[in-house]
């Protein structure tokens, strides 16, 4: 009995640590923004989307996270437990950026799409601005092909 209690305690401690760990093993997709390539992790499930980029201490400039939802709808994001300053691009099915939102780390401020979208691409804050990418710009890649 004592052994199973210590195993249970160890398992719950590991689970608690895992909740505070960044997810870095998600599938990846290459997206294009004009001549720029983006290596994006893809968050497909509700659990993957709810964790997102939480707990990440750094992210290379050419990397991001693409959140893919089942249906287009108004998507709202916040930055609780997210350390990195990010910009969210709310993206229509065809890859067109509907709107961009700079998001401040570790806040519960809500940042929403101005129209229903299926995709949200998070990049390091300033990435889109440095590349001159604004609302109306069309991203390329497999998720947006044929739409």
DSSP state letter for 22:
P
- pTM, full prediction: 0.86
User: What is the rounded average pLDDT of the residues 37-56?
Assistant: 96
CA distance readout (Å), 140 to 36, 71, 72, 96, 143: 10, 19, 18, 9, 8
- Residue 11 pLDDT > 60: no
β strands within 16-131, DSSP E: 28-33, 36-43, 63-73, 76-77, 86-91, 97-103, 111-112, 117-124
What average pLDDT does the structure give for the chain?
Answer: 89
Determine the CATH number of domain 24-144: 2.60.120.1140
125 and 102 in contact (C-beta within 8 Å)?
Answer: yes
Amino acid 83: pLDDT? 95
User: What is the rounded average pLDDT of the residues 110-130?
Assistant: 98
Amino acid 5: pLDDT? 41
User: What is the rounded average pLDDT of the residues 24-50?
Assistant: 96
CA distance readout (Å), 145 to 121, 129, 138: 16, 25, 11
Amino acid 124: pLDDT? 98
Contacts of 76 (CB under 8 A, 6+ apart): 110, 111, 112, 113
- Residue 96 pLDDT > 90: yes
pLDDT tens-digit series, residues 60-73: 999 999 999 999 99
Amino acid 147: pLDDT? 62
User: What is the rounded average pLDDT of the residues 74-83?
Assistant: 95
Nearest CA among 115, 120, 104 for reference residue 50: 120
- CB atoms closer than 10 angstroms to residue 121: 27
């Amino acid at each position: 009995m004592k052994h199973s209690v210590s195993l249970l305690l160890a398992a719950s401690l590991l689970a608690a640590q895992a909740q505070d760990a960044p997810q870095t093993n998600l599938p990846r997709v290459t997206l294009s923004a004009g001549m720029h390539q983006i290596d994006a992790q893809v968050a497909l499930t509700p659990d993957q989307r709810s964790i997102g980029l939480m707990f990440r201490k750094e992210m290379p400039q050419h990397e991001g996270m693409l959140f893919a939802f089942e249906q287009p709808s108004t998507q709202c994001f916040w930055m609780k437990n997210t350390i990195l300053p990010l910009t969210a691009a709310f993206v229509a099915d065809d890859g067109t950026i509907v709107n961009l939102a700079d998001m401040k780390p570790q806040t519960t401020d809500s940042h929403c799409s101005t129209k229903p979208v299926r995709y949200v691409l998070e990049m390091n804050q300033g990435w889109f601005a440095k590349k001159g990418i604004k609302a109306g710009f069309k991203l390329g890649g497999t998720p947006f092909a044929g739409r």
